[in-house]
Structure 1
Amino acid sequence: MSKQEFRKFLLASTACVLLAACSDTSISSPGGNNVGTPPGGGGGGGGTGNVVIDLVPAGGCGTGSIRETSVTHGTTTINACEITGNITSNTTIAANAGVIVTGPVFVGLDDGATAQKPNGEAAGGTPVTLTINPGATLFGAAGSDYIVVTRGSRIEAVGTADSPIVMTSRSDIEGTVGANEIGLWGGLVINGRAPINACIDGTAVGGSADCVKSGEGSSGLFGGDNPADDSGTLRYLQVRFAGFKVNNEDELNGIAFQGVGSGTEVDYVQVHNNADDGVEMFGGAVDLRHLVLTGNSDDSMDYTDGWRGRAQYVLVRQSADGDQGFEFDNRSSNNTLLPRSNPRISNFTLVGQRGGTGSNDSDQGMLIRAGTAGELYNGIVVDFGDNCLDIDDTETFNRIGATGASGDEDLVMQSVALDCVVNFSETAGDPVDVSDWFLGQANNAEIDNTMSDVFPGPIELAVATTDVNALDPWFEPTTYIGAFSGSENAASNWAAGWTYNLFADPGCPTGTTESAEVINNQRICQITGNVTADLHLTRGSVYELVGPVFVGVDRGPDAASPAPSGIEVELTIDPGVTVFGSAGSDYIVIARGSSIRSNGTRTAPVVLTARSDVEGTVGATEIGLWGGLVINGRAPINACIDGTATGGTADCQKSGEGSSGLFGGADPTDDSGNIFYTQVRYAGFKVNNEDELNGIAFQAVGSGTEVDYVQVHNNADDGVEMFGGAVDLRHLVLTGNSDDSMDYTDGWVGRAQYVIIQQSDDGDQAFEFDNRSSNNTLLPRSNPRISNFTLIGRRNGAGSNDSDEGMLIRAGTAGEFYNGIVVDFGNACLNVDDAETFDRIGATGAAGDEDLIIQSTVLDCLTNFKETAGDPVDLSTWFLGQADNAEITNSMSGFTFIPGSTGVVPGATELAVNTTDVNALDSWFEPVTYIGAVEDSNDTWYQGWTFQVTP
């Protein structure tokens, strides 16, 4: 079995099935791949022969305090990496490695409650960083096997949606874990220096550096006085089958956040089948997003000791024998301790099992007690067998509604819906009637729920929401209660694909066909021919284009009078989905009237690429391995196949390159959908000497189409090309493209802001801008507005040809170009060609005679200007005569795209250039006070979602 097959095998929790059929089997280490949405399972296993599971990657285990080892349990031998004892040097676990956690593993030695002693000396511990790469699987065999990150040290466990990091039990690796087993190993503990209120020194003041506490399971000290303390990153992480019970009072949580500060990033984390709480915050101020808590035996989410963090998007699916979904305390031994617990939580869905009986505290949705404050918004609590809401303790009740005094924050609950066997736990003598209090707050309701599993139904969707983003911009704006929106379902939601045992495998979506082939044990769903019904590409599979795929059938140039034979179709692509082609004849065309919704995110971009890229065999400089993406719209163009048609009218249409169909119309605001956080790699097949597919061809695409955070990498023709239309573009990254990176013609009048171009060694122009080369005077005239661009060449051009130029502006185009940096092109930074272009420079008044403007732009190339004898305008004089332009010696530095290339971060020379306030000219543009696409080293909009962009 391949490494990739084992990884899929583990994440789909079907290992037991496969192993049961094995005899004297060798299984290789896991590989990175799309985990899909595994169906769950588990159960007994065991074969009659010996099984060897090899989890050591081909490149080794990593660096630092990690080693190779081998363990045998019964008839199963595991060859793996191992961490054990005290880790006292920076350690990196390789991607896809299998790692045995042996005994308590302490990351670093406690570095104290503050980073510095009063005299400035180091606190005396050993702070280190444990880095865990995507796809790694860490596992323990007993409750004494757990990981503790000490104060001052960091854990950087950064998985991906396709390759989450897994922390689990050895029996899970062996395939013998039962579906309901818990407490098979310890878990993860993180100790930080953020304030707590429970001090082991009774004389210490809560929230001070002297207020520290000893963690559960002998996990060491935590606490300090820095609420912004940073213990690292947890992203796309699963913790499974943990929570060993040390004694009746001391039990390890799935993840214990002990005095952890808000500088720590926690996003996309699941804890499954933990013996104690799923996650528990012991004081501190850590923030949490996209939290999934399933099958935990005690409470799913718990806090105490003065936690003052935030959480958004929390899903709890409580186990049949679990206690509370939420158990929230200030401090049970002293309810009045300060700093008081006072978190803010929004968009939570708590689903019980309706299995509780009687009036005890088990099987409750929310137990709020021990003097805590807090704000809870936009929640759904259903199906708990005892009650949905219980508020206990005099100090908690006494503080409800109290304001003004130090520590007397309110308990607030708004836009929350309840439906349990009993909604409220109320006791005679309570100073507040819980039901009256709950229903007296804004938008709360008792309902008969219409939930579909964990997704809201019409009753939940009708509940008015609270705008928590207006209270705190950390929270993302939402218009729904609960963890999921009304448009999400089991196949398409933020938790799908990277979680364990949460949703059933959706299979190939309707409109696709499952292939008999697999790549790296990933299911392939094929798309072919004309797509004539809405198609939704969900996580869990990769998608293969077989030949030209036409989305919809051309509806004609006029939406008010569509072609009767046309068919309007919407193609939706979920975050993290990969679509590939195997040849130049494999490409996507969005027909007029149809739309694409490419809904990538920063952490899970959509990837459109080549087969060899998916297989892992693509070369770094390969191009033209498949077709690309073509979008046909109804916006105006000036190049009409009917010579009698007038440009810009519905009669002016054109046939697209690569037999991609007709485009053009008379609606500049035409809407072809959206493209967000999307990469197009290795495309641009050459059909013939004149006809070559671009990475993305925007053919008469209108301004109603949204394009933001898009990269085209290693395209054989242009990266993006606009053929007329009025589409606007933001956050555009164009790297390694073989012809021009950004090209337009046929009367494009759109806008663009934040454009980074790293030209390839053999590329032509970064910008190649035309009106129409066959007739420079056609109307409507190309006249875009572009601001904040950084164009980086390779200084490898030679001679006087047009290759390797920064900006080639020609064929009668107008345009406004502001706040630009153009450096390191081997031929020229700027070339303006053709009499019609020159004739129109500075001309105003006549129809179509818009100006060509370049302002606040700097040049530093082998030759800055390409000038030809007889040009009606001296280009250098014209350029330097416009506002704030300059020839410079560039001081670019900082982050790079391709190793060895020029940085994209402006230096002192660039920062000294006056900017043009383009926002004052057009409010579509965001206000800026800098030239170029990147403000400074803290401006990292181009990182994280792009391909081959390395800091």
Structure 2
Amino acid sequence: MPTQSLTKLLLVGASCAVLAACSGASTSSPGEQNQVPPPPTGGGGGGTQSINLIPAGGCPAGSASQTTTVSYSGGSADVTACRITGNLTTDVTVPANETFFISGAVFVGQDEGATASAGTSSTTQGAPSGPTLTVQPGATLVGESGNDYIVVTRGSSIDARGTETSPIVMTSARDIVEQRLGTPRTGDSTARGEWGGLVINGRAPINACIDGSATGGTADCQKSGEGSSGLFGGGTPDDNSGWLEYVVVKYAGFRVNNADELNGIAFQGVGSDTTVNHVQVHNNADDGIEFFGGTVSVRNIVLTGIADDSMDYTDGWTGNAQFVLVKHTDDSDQGFEFDNNGDANDALPRSNPTISNYTLVGNPTSTASDTGMLLREGTAGTFVNGIVVDFEGDCLDVDQQATFDQASAGDLVVASNFYDCTPDFSDDDDGFSEEAFFNGNGFAQNTNNVAGNSSLAQTFFPGPNELAVTEVDPTTLGSFFQPADYIGAFSPAETQASNWAAGWTFALFPAPSCPTGTTATGETIAGTEVCRLTGTLLDDTTLTGGFYYELVGAVFVGRDAGADPANPSADAREVTLTIEPGATVFGSSGNDYLVITRGSKIESNGTPNRPVVLTSRADLEGTQPDPNTARGEWGGLVINGRAPINACIDGTATGGSVDCQKSGEGSSGLFGGASADDDSGALNYTRVQYAGFRVNNADELNGIAFQGVGSGTEVNFVQVHNNADDGVEFFGGTVNAKHLVLTGIADDSMDYTDGWTGKVQYVIVQHATDDSDQGFEFDNNGDANDALPRSNPTISNFTLIGQRGSSASDSGMLLREGTAGTLINGIVVDFNADCLDVDQSATFDEASQGDLRLSSTFFDCPTNFSTDSDGFSEEDFFNGVSPYTQNTDNTTGTTSLAGFSFITDMSANNAKGVVPGAAGPESGVTPIDPSTIDPFFDSVDYIGAVEDANDTWYQGWTLQQQ
């Protein structure tokens, strides 16, 4: 049958469908945001109300006024609006901010075939030869039933270019009426299939031909589109069907029959000169977006509440996509369902798109066994920089032998992806291991993939676990792609209030309000709303970014679950407090502090751009007399765990046993036990500042007190600034840490006691000029120096900087009260008292036995070694004089530290930084590779916390002295 005759037959079929159209049931849901049509006129009070949507100048050419009755949850309404019907043979414009109805299948143009007419430009952004439907910013197109949809035919175009503040909306009549007369919808609405959707047909290559003798990718290879939408396909890769920018398609999708359903937007053989960016499809009954072959590329796509697959392709799509966000409801299917050709898996041109920077979020309570990424039916493709979480079926399923062949040949690539699903990989018995494919075992093209625990903030924004994944530079994938040095759809600098999807999308981000578990106070500080935390948190609580959270009194997370996880206390309540990037917690006085009880967790997961901050009210209000000396303005953070300690309140208990417990500082409860791998959560990119409080002469709050905390706890990139007592103190336990920054501490910057046996790498200490004690003060047990388990940590790569000439008589390292330990790759400079002091005979014994080791360390203090008369020579110990042969490659000299400075003294001579000079004496010290001691440590070939000027791990997220 000739193409034109077939098209006419399809148009007749569509018209018949229009005659059969009827309104279906609607579902209402409270609330909605944005895109409300003009107010109604006439009607009112009981019965059928009236809404007049006719523009002031009347209906423009190509449309006509018509009144229709729309049923909705509150009754019915007579809506008078301009209406577009049938086949548009000339250009039609929907004016800005007006609402037009469509009736039946509205065809833009009449199919002009698979090949452009002579003289027609299909390779520029100018309009093709056929008519154009222009939809101006802020306009709304409305369908009344599933039979109402828009088809852009081959050779014609759509010009729908909204803006961030005036998006174009395509939605249902019920939605429009409920916005005005009923209860406006929110993202909780389950409404779908209330009108048809948008179909765009192009002349780009496809591989599914209705003529079985045609060759895929040629002008002879065409296909009939879904929903009686006409033919598509051809041999013009750079075909142009127009523009879609800042467009929202809501409540669409219609089942024509069991094999034919309308997608939110169907790109059918659409070419690469078509522009598509900033498009949302919300609550579609079939797929959100589906590509049927073609070469079109898309960017900034949001797919929410889709009943079937959020993003789908088939028939040989070879375009690109970047920045794709998917959020499922509890009845969705796949996030990505990607095929080549279901009838001929190896059909050419093969589906082979490139997709970068996607975030797919399933629904952990889903009733559907949904999959994050289903790759099948022979597809190739490159899928990089992705985050896939919370899908109940699995994160990844690869099916069919032809797809396996693409994977084996290296033509199906999944790289730099982060997965967290239940389970991560399909367990179907088809002989293909998705796990091996993901991990690059036998599939060398797949690199830097990680399966772990999601740390996404506010549902979509990357946390430290996602940011730890090494990304692919998308600009290396082709000229279409924009720079992005991160995985996922959003950058770490973006927030709910400021991101590429904010402002124009529907129901994507909830209206900001104080989270459950907190109380709205009605107060704002510097324009930020204050939420309050009090008493004991008995349920999991998440503190989202964008708020200030006030601690009132001692706030306990959970009720102490006891020392034995197998036998928790009768009144135990194990709770997780999650603090997301950008959240700020504050106290108003020293009585306000935060305690994590045994069995409970803190998940404080900031990012380099948006650290979690725990600070004081005075800091936020800007009322500190002098920020440089401000301390003790609130309490601090206490974490209690079940790991072994050696200081027992029960004198008969054995150290390290479940019976050995201790009462924490600041009336913070009991800690200790026998679970070395106890898990109290995570601290990542977290700052604690202006804290510390003297409860009494023997009891002060540290910036962070790790009390019996276990090795299952993650501590990485943490700063304590200007604390009135110690910066960080470890009371026994086994917790490890990396990247600690301790600045302006009034007492000891880093302290341990009670049998701590953890590991630390990369520590910066920089003292203030006004007040400070030791850089390191390391003990075993002050009451029983030989108590077991003995303190015996391993610490590598530390830089301790005092203040030469200050009033403080401080020591760089004070090792005492029976501690053992391994301290390597250190730089200690400018402490007024000395760089090293070792006290008590039990400590001397550990040194003499080789169990206290100090190696590959550089000293430069006015007096490098303590001169106390206790019979122990710190200088001999440092220099490895027998019996201290465990100590090697230690050196003294004149420091060359320079560069970035946390705390700048008035004297330029004291403006010491943390970067050693390239040719300075520190560089002459032979380092020890700490990874040879324990796999916890990174392999390094330098001493100190910072390698060189290019090593900037401490910058950006930390607070500097003003």
Residue 814 of structure 2, aligned match among 808, 813, 825: 808
Q: Does 1:790 pair with 2:799?
A: yes
Q: Distance in 2 between matches of 1:361 and 1:783?
A: 67
Q: Does 1:624 pair with 2:632?
A: yes
Residue 906 of structure 1, aligned match among 916, 935, 938: 916
Instruction: Give the aligned partner of residue 866 of structure 1.
Output: 866
Instruction: Give the aligned partner of residue 580 of structure 1.
Output: 586
Whether the 8 Å contact between 2:201 and 2:270 is mirrored in structure 1 is no
Residue 646 of structure 2, aligned match among 638, 642, 654: 638
- Relative to 1, partners in 2 of residues 1:555 and 1:823: Cα closer, same or farther, differing over 3 Å? same
Instruction: Give the aligned partner of residue 63 of structure 1.
Output: none
Deviations 1:398-440 (A, max 9, x none): xx999xxxx99999x9x9999899x99999xx99969989999
After superposition, residues 119-518 of structure 1 pair within 5 angstroms as: 273=166, 353-354=251-252, 363-364=264-265, 369-370=270-271, 383=284, 388-392=289-293, 458-460=369-371, 461=391, 462-465=393-396, 475-476=417-418, 492-494=459-461, 496-499=496-499, 500-501=502-503, 502-505=508-511, 507-518=513-524
- Relative to 1, partners in 2 of residues 1:944 and 1:432: Cα closer, same or farther, differing over 3 Å? farther
Instruction: Give the aligned partner of residue 935 of structure 2.
Output: 923
Residue 690 of structure 1, aligned match among 681, 694, 698: 698
Residue 721 of structure 2, aligned match among 713, 724, 742: 713
Q: Distance in 2 between matches of 1:853 and 1:325?
A: 72
- Relative to 1, partners in 2 of residues 1:884 and 1:367: Cα closer, same or farther, differing over 3 Å? farther
- Relative to 1, partners in 2 of residues 1:942 and 1:356: Cα closer, same or farther, differing over 3 Å? farther
Shift of 1:820: 1.0
Instruction: Give the aligned partner of residue 945 of structure 1.
Output: 957
Residue 820 of structure 1, aligned match among 826, 840, 852: 826
- Relative to 1, partners in 2 of residues 1:826 and 1:557: Cα closer, same or farther, differing over 3 Å? same
SS at match of 1:390: strand
Q: Distance in 1 between matches of 2:729 and 2:650?
A: 22
Structure 2 unaligned runs (5+)? 1-30, 39-95, 101-122, 127-135, 140-155, 171-191, 206-216, 218-232, 239-247, 274-279, 298-313, 372-390, 399-406, 426-450, 462-494, 882-886, 906-910
Deviations 1:781-824 (A, max 9, x none): 111000111111121346xx8x3221111111111011111122
Residue 662 of structure 2, aligned match among 643, 654, 657: 654
After superposition, residues 666-705 of structure 1 pair within 5 angstroms as: 666-705=674-713
Deviations 1:372-414 (A, max 9, x none): 9xxxxxx999727797323445999xxx999xxxx99999x9x
Structure 1 unaligned runs (5+)? 1-37, 46-176, 182-212, 217-239, 256-270, 278-316, 338-349, 373-378, 845-850
Instruction: Give the aligned partner of residue 64 of structure 1.
Output: none
Instruction: Give the aligned partner of residue 615 of structure 1.
Output: 621
Q: Distance in 1 between matches of 2:511 and 2:125?
A: 39
Which of 1 and 2 has greater Rg?
2
Residue 519 of structure 1, aligned match among 521, 525, 544: 525
Whether the 8 Å contact between 1:381 and 1:388 is mirrored in structure 2 is no
- Relative to 1, partners in 2 of residues 1:816 and 1:388: Cα closer, same or farther, differing over 3 Å? same
Question: What is the identity percentage for the equivalent residue pairs of Structure 1 and Structure 2?
Answer: 45
Whether the 8 Å contact between 1:39 and 1:504 is mirrored in structure 2 is no
Q: Does 1:891 pair with 2:896?
A: yes
TM-score by length of 1: 0.57
Q: Distance in 1 between matches of 2:296 and 2:697?
A: 80
Q: Distance in 2 between matches of 1:947 and 1:731?
A: 14
Whether the 8 Å contact between 1:824 and 1:861 is mirrored in structure 2 is yes
Q: Distance in 2 between matches of 1:537 and 1:782?
A: 35
Deviations 1:703-723 (A, max 9, x none): 111111111111111111000
Shift of 1:43: 7.0
Instruction: Give the aligned partner of residue 573 of structure 2.
Output: 567
Whether the 8 Å contact between 1:456 and 1:485 is mirrored in structure 2 is no
Whether the 8 Å contact between 1:389 and 1:424 is mirrored in structure 2 is no
Q: Does 1:737 pair with 2:745?
A: yes
Deviations 1:593-631 (A, max 9, x none): 211111222222111111122223334221110001101
Instruction: Give the aligned partner of residue 759 of structure 1.
Output: 767
Whether the 8 Å contact between 1:789 and 1:821 is mirrored in structure 2 is yes
Instruction: Give the aligned partner of residue 747 of structure 1.
Output: 755
Whether the 8 Å contact between 2:558 and 2:573 is mirrored in structure 1 is yes
Shift of 1:318: 15
TM-score by length of 2: 0.56
SS at match of 2:699: coil
Q: Distance in 2 between matches of 1:871 and 1:684?
A: 36
SS at match of 1:841: helix
- Relative to 1, partners in 2 of residues 1:327 and 1:625: Cα closer, same or farther, differing over 3 Å? farther
Q: Distance in 1 between matches of 2:249 and 2:552?
A: 42
Deviations 1:191-215 (A, max 9, x none): xxxxxxxxxxxxxxxxxxxxxx999
SS at match of 1:593: coil
Whether the 8 Å contact between 1:771 and 1:782 is mirrored in structure 2 is yes
Whether the 8 Å contact between 1:391 and 1:434 is mirrored in structure 2 is no
Shift of 1:646: 1.8
- Relative to 1, partners in 2 of residues 1:870 and 1:568: Cα closer, same or farther, differing over 3 Å? closer
Q: Distance in 2 between matches of 1:923 and 1:440?
A: 43
Q: Distance in 2 between matches of 1:249 and 1:567?
A: 61
Whether the 8 Å contact between 2:759 and 2:794 is mirrored in structure 1 is yes
Code of the residue aligned with 2:686 in structure 1: it is T
Code of the residue aligned with 1:626 in structure 2: it is W
Q: Distance in 1 between matches of 2:734 and 2:251?
A: 53
Shift of 1:724: 0.6
Q: Distance in 2 between matches of 1:356 and 1:505?
A: 30
Shift of 1:565: 2.4
- Relative to 1, partners in 2 of residues 1:824 and 1:178: Cα closer, same or farther, differing over 3 Å? farther
Whether the 8 Å contact between 1:251 and 1:276 is mirrored in structure 2 is no
Shift of 1:547: 0.6
- Relative to 1, partners in 2 of residues 1:369 and 1:824: Cα closer, same or farther, differing over 3 Å? farther
Whether the 8 Å contact between 1:525 and 1:543 is mirrored in structure 2 is yes
Code of the residue aligned with 1:902 in structure 2: it is K
SS at match of 2:694: coil
Residue 600 of structure 1, aligned match among 587, 596, 606: 606
Shift of 1:887: 0.6
Deviations 1:306-358 (A, max 9, x none): xxxxxxxxxxx999999699999999999679xxxxxxxxxxxx986426999
Instruction: Give the aligned partner of residue 46 of structure 2.
Output: none
- Relative to 1, partners in 2 of residues 1:643 and 1:328: Cα closer, same or farther, differing over 3 Å? farther
- Relative to 1, partners in 2 of residues 1:703 and 1:615: Cα closer, same or farther, differing over 3 Å? same
Code of the residue aligned with 1:701 in structure 2: it is V
After superposition, residues 16-165 of structure 1 pair within 5 angstroms as: 40-41=33-34
Whether the 8 Å contact between 2:733 and 2:757 is mirrored in structure 1 is yes
Instruction: Give the aligned partner of residue 875 of structure 1.
Output: 875
Q: Does 1:836 pair with 2:842?
A: yes
Whether the 8 Å contact between 1:42 and 1:179 is mirrored in structure 2 is no
Shift of 1:180: 9.8
Instruction: Give the aligned partner of residue 184 of structure 2.
Output: none
Deviations 1:90-113 (A, max 9, x none): xxxxxxxxxxxxxxxxxxxxxxxx
Shift of 1:508: 2.2
The aligned length equals 629
Q: Distance in 2 between matches of 1:606 and 1:426?
A: 42
Shift of 1:555: 1.6
Instruction: Give the aligned partner of residue 932 of structure 1.
Output: 944
Q: Distance in 1 between matches of 2:419 and 2:344?
A: 32
Whether the 8 Å contact between 1:589 and 1:660 is mirrored in structure 2 is yes
Once the two structures are overlaid, the 10-residue window that deviates more, 908-917 or 432-441, is 432-441
SS at match of 1:657: coil
Instruction: Give the aligned partner of residue 311 of structure 2.
Output: none
Report the aligned-residue RMSD.
Answer: 5.5
